[in-house]
Amino acid sequence: MTTKLHKDIVRYVEHNLYHYHEYIREIQRLRNDILYGVKLTTDENVGGGRSNLPSSPTERRTIELLTHRRLETLERVTHAIKTVYEALPDEKRKLIKLKYWTKPQRYTWDGIAEQLCVTRITCLRWRNEIVYAIAELLGETDA
């Protein structure tokens, strides 16, 4: 039994579900920019001693990969979604595909329920369970 989440957390998780595939592409782009891009974070400490970054480009890129905040956040969110999605039975996976990953959005909750041969209330209950499981992995629940 799941507990009720604050509506802002539900919106946050649903937003991430809607943009999951974009996040996957963004992660790959960020990694490529860090690994193969010519522009690395430069030390702006002009005349103030030595930089705390290693002089080796490989080491600098590794450190940037490990400390890049946007990349870390996207990886954490996509990992949580993927983990929950892969653990779901087929009908709940189909709910995610129909509601969040079909572009343009073609179905209302009633239409999704009809596609899945369940009631609208069942769809909403499943959605709540899925959102709660993702929020829990992201550390967004009170429990």
- The percentage of residues in the chain with a pLDDT greater than 70, rounded to a whole number, is 76
- Exposed, middle or buried: residue 32 (CB in 10 Å: 0-12, 13-18, 19+)? exposed
Name the token pair of 36. Answer: 């193969």
Residue 33 pLDDT grade (very low, low, confident, very high; cuts 50, 70, 90): confident
Whether the full predicted model's pTM is greater than 0.85, yes or no, is no
Mean pLDDT across 98-104:
93
- Exposed, middle or buried: residue 53 (CB in 10 Å: 0-12, 13-18, 19+)? middle
pLDDT tens digits, 40-99: 455 555 555 555 555 566 666 666 655 568 888 999 999 999 999 999 999 999 999 999
Q: Is the dihedral of CA 77, 78, 84, 90 positive or negative?
A: positive
CA nearest 133: which of 64, 79, 94, 73?
79
Residue 11 φ/ψ, nearest 5 degrees:
-60, -45
Is residue 130 within 8 A of residue 88, CB to CB? The reply is yes
What is the pLDDT of the chain when averaged over all its residues? 84
